[in-house]
Amino acid sequence: MTDAAELRRRTEELLAAHPPRSTDRSDFLKARFDAGLAWVHFPEGLGGLGLPRSLQAVVDAELAAAGAPDNEPRRIGIGLGMAAPTILGFGTDEQKRRFLRPLWVGEEVWCQLFSEPGAGSDLAALGTRAVRDEASGDWVVDGQKVWTSGAHNARWAILIARTDPDVPKHRGITYFVCDMTDPGVEVRPLRQITGEAEFNEVFLTGVRIPDAHRLGAVGDGWKVAQTTLMNERVSIGGSRIPREGGMIATLAKTWRERPELRTHDTHQRLLKLWVEAEVARLTGERLRQQLVAGQPGPEGSGMKLNFARLNQEITGLELELLGEDGLLYDDWTMRRPALVDFMGRDAGYRYLRAKGNSIEGGTSEVLLNIVAERVLGLPSEPRTDKDVAWKDLAR
């Protein structure tokens, strides 16, 4: 029996034992995880079967046809796209067993405590400190993080903090799992240009993290964080969409439904963006095929870079096409959404929200450097602080 046939058999057994129409949603998702059908490329016992990633589509198609519930991947995207691959790659067996199942089922939402007010694009210069309490073995964390999407809904966070200020900035960082319910964690909303506050600033004061919640070795946090960042850029810029899907769909729909708005110039620009969106979609498919063979590389940075540029150009043309109608905005009330809803809002929202695409998940300027150096092989920029201890850096 082929792997695909075996997956269909397992899926049929799952559906027979837990009919979607009569089974509690949470119970169904837990049963799916335990059957190894959550992410088939993960190891057995951790929601998978150790099979090629490409075979996940077989399971998803069978379950979708049966009307089975999904795990709301957009709501728990940070956990699925960033925390899970990092835990799988660097976590202990105990950490994998503890965190992966509730993460995938959606019982526990995750956020990412990386960026800081004083170390935005230069993430390795972060100043949040984690000091070991020798009596208990815990780490005591103090500092501030910013641009933390979903922190107001999160149960856990992936966190990087400085554990050794006496070595160069990339070497003195350690990676932790932080309990967002700790009394020392304060989450404050950051209101955006859209009016809502989907992300936050987070203050950490005397937060105690047990050493059992450290991912990787002490001082290896930058290495561990690279796994998170590469997966983050793939999840932002490389998500699977149908032909004429995503942001280009809204622009094409407006074009077809409002012929009175058309001009020769906007027609030419629409055609150009449609072609670029299709090229990006096909490139994303190729990237996902490469992921079957291993971990994501710098190609994900290129995808995320293009994703930001395209979104901003598409939403800009949509607003221009609509003219004065594009200046209308549906609601300035501050919302605290669980996810970003590009398609459920108007053109003004999409235009404003797309401005953040070139900042979140790595600024476009940083990603241009990554593509130049790691994809094209161009000389790197001079780095005068490479061998300077973090405590001696100018701030």
Active site residues: 232
Burial 11-47 (b: 16+ CB within 10 A, else e): beebbeebeeeebeeeebbbebbebbbbbbbbeeebb
8 Å CB contact between 194 and 350: no
Q: What are the structure tokens assigned to 10, written together?
A: 């397992």
Of 61, 50, 63, 55, the C-alpha closest to 2 is 55
Q: What are the structure tokens assigned to 172, written together?
A: 């003195």
Q: What are the structure tokens assigned to 40, written together?
A: 């088939």
DSSP state of 276: H
Helix or strand (DSSP H, E) at 196:
none
> CA 69 to CA 49: how far, in whole Å?
21
Q: What are the structure tokens assigned to 351, written together?
A: 């235009």
> CA 67 to CA 74: how far, in whole Å?
18
Residue 343 has a CB neighbour count (10 Å cut-off) of 10
> CA 22 to CA 8: how far, in whole Å?
21
Q: What are the structure tokens assigned to 112, written together?
A: 């990412």
DSSP state of 381: P
C-alpha distance from residue 10 to each of 7, 198, 204, 359 (Å): 5, 38, 45, 42
> CA 373 to CA 351: how far, in whole Å?
31
Q: Which residues pair with 150 in a beta bridge?
A: none
> CA 193 to CA 334: how far, in whole Å?
10
Q: What angle do CA 232, 367, 278 make, to 5 degrees?
A: 75
> CA 8 to CA 153: how far, in whole Å?
35
